[in-house]
A and B are shown apart, each in its own frame.
Chain A
Amino acid sequence: MITVYLDGQPLVMGEGLTVAAMLTLSESSIARLSCTGQPRAPFCGMGICQECRVTIDGRRQLACQTLCQEGMHVERTV
């Protein structure tokens, strides 16, 4: 089991999950807010649609293309 921090809150999960899967397991699968404030969540799951942009350890990345690592900090983009 590993611990990942989502917006500062620890989440304990098995290894091998993507950050997008971790979002889905959390209370809300929202990854970010659009220009007009609409919630957006992972959609294509294969790195094309760009809907799941989150900040991972200080850098903007795609949640669906990133595997969770022990101690990783994930921030939703709002």
Chain B
Amino acid sequence: MSLQARTAAADVVIVGAGIMGAMCAYELASRGLSILVIDNGTGGATGAGMGHLVVMDDNPAELALSRYSIALWNTLRKRLPEACAYRNCGTLWLAANDEECGLAEAKQARLVEYGAQSEWISASALRQLEPMLRPDLAGALKVFDDGILYAPATARWLLHQQDGRITVQEGDVTRVEGNRLCLSEGGWLTAPAILLANGLGAFRLLPDVPLRPKKGHLLITDRYPACINHQLVELGYAASAHADDGTSVAFNVQPRPTGQLLIGSSRQFDTLDKRVEFDVLGRMLMRAQDYLPGLGELNAIRGWTGFRVATPDGLPLLGQHPDQPGLWLALGHEGLGVTTASGSARLIAAQLLGEAPPFDPAPFRTERFVGVASHTPGAAA
């Protein structure tokens, strides 16, 4: 311990006050621990994303985590204040043709295994439910428990719960070594556990963690009388979301409680350029207009970008660093961090306190990509 070291700053110090850090703070403080959250105020994926709470089923681990997480959000949602803008609008996964109807059927079968309720909506019923959609769609799968919320306000609210056991401090962490960290203003902080929940910011602290940014564009319209009622996503979305390279766009539109439409989505790899790229934005909007022909009549008021932080296998890193006792990671949630914040925080808390995990933690273990062993050929299987 250096001469500058202080006594423990808190039971757990969390780096990052986005939705993941805030939910971990909320979860750990609910068990009586004192939590210090340090954030550098630059903002990350929490402020840039859509805030879609959605069960994703591309693999069993993602389905288990997202389904468990949605169930936790459902127990929390009644307590969220209006500023969090939670709505249980459900998701409509849109099928454009027979092939996508098959995808919907397979999706429904996977979801039911995990207790996620869904219903097939016929083409004619879909036209009644969402008259703004183009009329020739083949139908949609409605997933009932999905919803939306405003993640920055929700993170703020979470950090103010638990009877003052959570303290938030502005600061820039420049180094992490096991259970201690260094702040740019000088001085080390130690704690029994340090948790990194700072998304892309973890790059600087742990350069050997293979996190890859995936840039996304979003655009929001002016307020109008409600014209869509569910989060609308094309069934081809998963193909775009999991493409490994190149630029892709997929239709994904969310009705905001204000009457605005939040329009996505795009994916680009290996750029950290925050600027809106009009060719990508244009492709994204053409895709959106293909599904919502009336979109061109609406006035857009803002466009922006953000970065999803992805691991090589698309699943987050949740657990203790294999070579640095006392250092914990909740990183790499890609585009699903708002959804999975609740389940990820529950798993981190269980592991930290030696409780039984709420679901199989193996697919999320940090040893996959972190630490000496992960760099040995064949070790990261």
A residues whose Cβ falls under 8 Å from a Cβ of B: 35, 50, 53, 59-62, 77
A-B contact pairs, 11 of them (CB 8 A): A35-B223, A35-B258, A50-B222, A53-B222, A53-B299, A53-B301, A59-B297, A59-B299, A60-B222, A61-B299, A62-B299
Distance in angstroms between the alpha carbons of A59 and B258 in the assembled complex: 18
Task: Kindly count the residue-residue contacts between A and B in the assembled complex, taking CB atoms under 8 Å apart.
Answer: 18
A52 to chain B, nearest CB (A): 11
* Closest residue on chain A to residue B299 by CB atoms: A60
- Chain B residues contacting A59 (CB-CB under 8 Å) are 297, 299
Within 8 A of A (CB), among B257-286: 258
Q: Please determine whether B302 and A60 come into contact, CB atoms closer than 8 angstroms.
A: no
Chain B nearest CB: distance from A37 CB in Å?
A: 12
Interface residues of B (CB under 8 A from A): 222-224, 258, 297-299, 301-302
The distance in angstroms between the C-alpha atoms of A59 and B224, with both chains bound, is 11
How far is B220's CA from A50's CA once the two chains are assembled, in angstroms?
12
- A50 touching B301 by the CB < 8 A rule? yes
Name the A residues within 8 Å of B298 (CB-CB): 60
Q: Apart from A35-B258, A59-B299, A62-B299, what 12 extra A-B contacts exist at CB < 8 Å?
A: A35-B223, A50-B222, A50-B301, A50-B302, A53-B222, A53-B299, A53-B301, A59-B297, A60-B224, A60-B298, A77-B222, A77-B223
Which among A53, A59, A60 has the highest number of chain B CB atoms within 10 Å?
A60
Residues of chain B with a CB closer than 8 A to A77's CB: 222-223
Which residues in A have their C-beta under 8 angstroms from that of B222? 50, 53, 60, 77
**A70–B192 CA distance with the chains assembled, in angstroms:** 73
A77 to B302, CA, bound (A): 18
Contacts of A61 on B, CB cut-off 8 Å?
299
A6 to B123 Cα, complex, angstroms:
42
**Closest residue on chain A to residue B257 by CB atoms:** A35
Chain A residues with Cβ under 8 A from B299's Cβ?
Answer: 53, 59-62
CA A35 – CA B301 in complex, angstroms?
Answer: 14
User: Which residues on the A side are within 8 Å of B297 (C-beta)?
Assistant: 59
- Give A34 Cβ to nearest chain B Cβ, in Å: 9
Distance to closest chain B CB from A26 (angstroms): 21
Cβ–Cβ < 8 Å partners of B301 in chain A: 50, 53
Shortest B177–chain A CB gap in Å is: 45
**Complex: A62 Cα to B301 Cα, angstroms:** 10
Q: A-B pairs with the 3 shortest C-beta distances?
A: A60-B299, A50-B301, A60-B222
Distance in angstroms between the alpha carbons of A53 and B299 in the assembled complex: 9
For the complex, give the distance between the alpha carbons of A59 and B299 in Å.
8
Q: Which residues of B contact A50 (CB under 8 A)?
A: 222, 301-302
| CB-based nearest B residue for A50 | B301
In the complex, residue of chain B having the shortest beta-carbon distance to the beta carbon of A53? B222
A59 to B296, CA, bound (A): 11
A61, B299: Cα distance in complex, Å: 7
B297 CB to closest chain A CB (Å) equals 7
Q: What's the nearest-Cβ distance from chain B to residue A76, in Å?
A: 13
CB-defined contacts of A60 to chain B, threshold 8 Å: 222, 224, 298-299
**Nearest-Cβ distance from residue B84 to partner chain A, whole angstroms:** 14
Provide the residues of chain B in CB contact with A62, threshold 8 Å: 299
